[in-house]
């Protein structure tokens, strides 16, 4: 038989703990466990989502009037109208091209290739005036008869005449080209059907009516 030194083996530390304490120790989540990291990640995502929700602007109010801005294909703002443009609702209504039984309605459209962010002033009978930018249009509601439309740009004036009765629709287009050394704008000679097609993609920036 083996020789004994008379000292009993000491129980392991874990064996000295009460059963309930051992269970709690075994189930405690280490501070760097995957579960804790997952909780931290989920909390961070939730906070970021809430902050993003606060910072994200809501959609434009379709009934609000605000300046229209002409932008490049990359979204850079080139120029904005100096006065608020009609609302998106008014723009949509104008593009239905519904005749007014009590007025001659004339659409002046500026939508071209090679245009630039220069203001071009137009007027009807030297009274009702508005400024245009690329991809915009102006609607005039006039008394039946003959009317003179004037296009003014850098001291040069172009004139067009429109005739019609109540309930008629007429279309004019500003044709323009902008170069580094010179810019020109004149009245186009397109047919009215072709101008109407361009008007669908132009933004209404003024809606003028003779009272």
Low-confidence ranges of the chain (pLDDT < 50): 2-8, 11-14, 23, 25-27, 29, 40, 45-57
Domain ranges of the chain: 13-55, 69-209
What mean pLDDT is reported for the chain? 82
Backbone CA torsion sign across 81, 84, 87, 92 = negative
Q: Give me the half-sphere count of Cα atoms (radius 13 Å) on the Cβ side of residue 82.
A: 7
Q: What is the pLDDT of residue 210?
A: 87
Identify the CATH number of the domain defined by range 69-209.
Answer: 2.60.40.10
Per-residue pLDDT tens digits for 60-117? 799 999 999 999 888 999 999 999 999 999 999 999 999 999 999 999 999 988 788 8
Four-CA torsion 121, 88, 76, 198, nearest 10 degrees: -60
pLDDT at 121: 97
pTM score of the predicted model: 0.71
- In this prediction, residue 159 carries a pLDDT of 97
pLDDT confidence of residue 53:
42
């Amino acid at each position: 038989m083996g020789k004994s030194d008379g000292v009993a083996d000491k129980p392991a530390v874990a064996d000295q703990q009460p059963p309930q304490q051992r269970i709690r120790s075994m189930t405690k989540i280490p501070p760097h466990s995957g579960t804790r990291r997952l909780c931290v990640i989920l909390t961070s995502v939730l906070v970021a989502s809430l902050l993003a929700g606060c910072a994200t602007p809501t959609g434009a109010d379709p009934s609000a009037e605000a300046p229209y801005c002409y932008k490049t294909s990359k979204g850079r703002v080139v120029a904005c109208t100096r006065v608020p443009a009609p609302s998106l609702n008014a723009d949509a209504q104008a593009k239905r091209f519904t005749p007014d039984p009590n007025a001659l309605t004339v659409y002046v459209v500026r939508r071209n290739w090679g245009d630039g962010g220069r203001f071009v002033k137009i007027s009807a009978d030297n009274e009702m005036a508005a400024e245009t930018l690329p991809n915009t249009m102006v609607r005039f509601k006039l008394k039946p008869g003959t009317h003179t439309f004037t296009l003014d740009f850098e001291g040069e004036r172009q004139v067009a005449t429109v005739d019609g009765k109540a309930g008629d629709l007429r279309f004019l287009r500003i044709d323009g080209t902008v170069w580094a050394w010179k810019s020109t704008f004149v009245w186009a000679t397109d047919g009215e059907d072709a101008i109407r097609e361009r008007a669908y993609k132009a933004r209404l920036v003024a809606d003028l009516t003779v009272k």
